[in-house]
Structure 1
Amino acid sequence: MPTVLGLMHPKIEWKKAENNSLADGNPYFGPDAILKGVFARLRTLHV
C-alpha cells in the first residue's frame, strides 16, 4: 500500500459513484484520506 499511495499526487481528488457505500466522504482529498476513507474500509465490506 505505501507504494500505491506514494505514486499518488499529494493533492489527488478521488470521487466514488454516488450510489457507492464509500461515497459518504466524497470527494476524498490526498492519499491519506483515500487510504482511510476507501482502502481501509474496503477490508470491512462483505462480499
Structure 2
Amino acid sequence: MSYTFDWQVPDRVVLFTLGDTYTLEDAGLLNKQMLELLNKAEQPL
C-alpha cells in the first residue's frame, strides 16, 4: 500500500498521505475503505 490515512479529528477530519508509487489498485482500495467509513458516520460530513 502506498498510502496512509489517519483521523486528525475522530470521525470528522482525515489526513491522506500518498506515496510515490500510488497505483490504480491503491486508489480502488482507498476508495473502498473510505466509503465504508463514510457509511458508518453518525453525523453528516
Larger Rg: 2
Structure with the higher helix share, 1 or 2: 1
Do Structure 1 and Structure 2 share a fold, with TM-score over 0.5?
no
TM-score with structure 1 setting the length: 0.34
TM-score with structure 2 setting the length: 0.34
Structure with the higher strand share, 1 or 2: 2
